[in-house]
Amino acid sequence: MKAVTTITGPAAPLLRDNVDTDLIIRIERISQLVRGQLGPYLLETLRYQGNGPESGARSDFVLNQPAFRDACTLLGGKNFGCGSSREMAVWALEEAGIRCVIAPSFGDIFYNNCLQNGLLPVRLNAAAIQRIADASCEGANVEVDLRQLEIRTPGIKAISFDFDAAQQQALLEGLDEIDQTRRLASKIANFRQADMKARGWAYFA
């Protein structure tokens, strides 16, 4: 996984609650396209007139507005990424250039999927998100600093955010979980040996 430190660029406001992963990437895109082809289909129901980019962009959608075409942060509402576990929602965001989502809360599975891919999910109260949105509504740069746990944008005071220290470290270093877990092989083997004795019924011997 690639490391995350600071993300700088416009922050597009998509301030509505319950933006679900079906809306972020439609089912037929994840079944019929592969990773690397998803970017153009991010939020396609909101972004285009009809099916896919060929149908024409909707000018009223935030990511189609000149100020936010190159957005690398998305400002969201409550429960962002709720619903389906599809990790392709994170991949689609990533492929469309979004590297950070700031929202009051996230779907639990989506949040984990973000961490797995180095897409920074920042939990922040709605009032603070609104302040960032107001200050950057012309497309001003928003700087999200994972090392300092701080969001900076011209015209307002820096806003700090909480982040789990272990997860922060993992993102900063871009650690691979499989490699880390494989180092615990002997602990896993010991656990399993004891467990097979204690809960023989749970295994198929």
Partner 1 sequence: MNTLFDKLWDSHTIEHLPGGVDLLQVDRHLMHELTGVEAVRVLERRGLAVDSPALTFATVDHVISTAPGRRAGDEDWSTQMVDAMRGQMAHHAIPIFDIGKTGKQGIVHVIGPELGLSLPGTSIVCADSHTCTHGAMGALAFGIGSTEVVHVLATQTIRQKRPKTMRVRFNGRLRDGVSAKDMILYLIGRLSAAGGTGHAIEYAGDAVEALSMEGRLTLCNLSIELGAKFGLVAPDETTFAYLRGKPYSPQGAKFDEALADWKALASENGALFDREEMVDASAIGAQVTWGTSPEHVISVDDVIPDPAALDDEPRRNAAQSALDYMGVHAGQHLDELSVDRVFIGSCTNSRIEDLRTAAHIVEGQHVAGSVTAWVVPGSLSVARQAEQEGLDDIFRSAGFEWREPGCSMCVGANGDVVGRGERCVSTSNRNFVGRQGPGARTHLASPAVAAASALAGHIAAPASVAREAGA
Comparison of 39 and 141: residue with beta carbon closer to partner 1: 39
CB of 164 to partner 1, least distance (A): 5
Q: Give how far Cα 151 sits from Cα of 135, 147, 171, 179, Å.
A: 12, 11, 17, 32
Comparison of 154 and 182: residue with beta carbon closer to partner 1: 182
Chain contacts with partner 1 (rule: CB under 8 A): 15-18, 20, 22-23, 26-28, 30-32, 34-35, 45, 50-51, 77-79, 82-88, 90, 105-109, 112-113, 116-117, 126, 164-167, 169, 177-178, 181-182, 184, 187-188, 191-192, 195, 199-204
Burial status of residue 192 (CB atoms within 10 A of its CB: 0-12, 13-18, 19 or more): exposed
CB of 166 to partner 1, least distance (A): 2
Comparison of 35 and 158: residue with beta carbon closer to partner 1: 35
Residue 129 CB contacts under 8 Å (≥ 6 apart), including other chains: 15, 75, 76, 102, 103, 104
Distance (Å, whole) CA 100 – CA 10: 11
Comparison of 70 and 176: residue with beta carbon closer to partner 1: 176
CB of 8 to partner 1, least distance (A): 25
CB of 53 to partner 1, least distance (A): 14
CB of 7 to partner 1, least distance (A): 20
Distance (Å, whole) CA 123 – CA 86: 21
Comparison of 90 and 151: residue with beta carbon closer to partner 1: 90
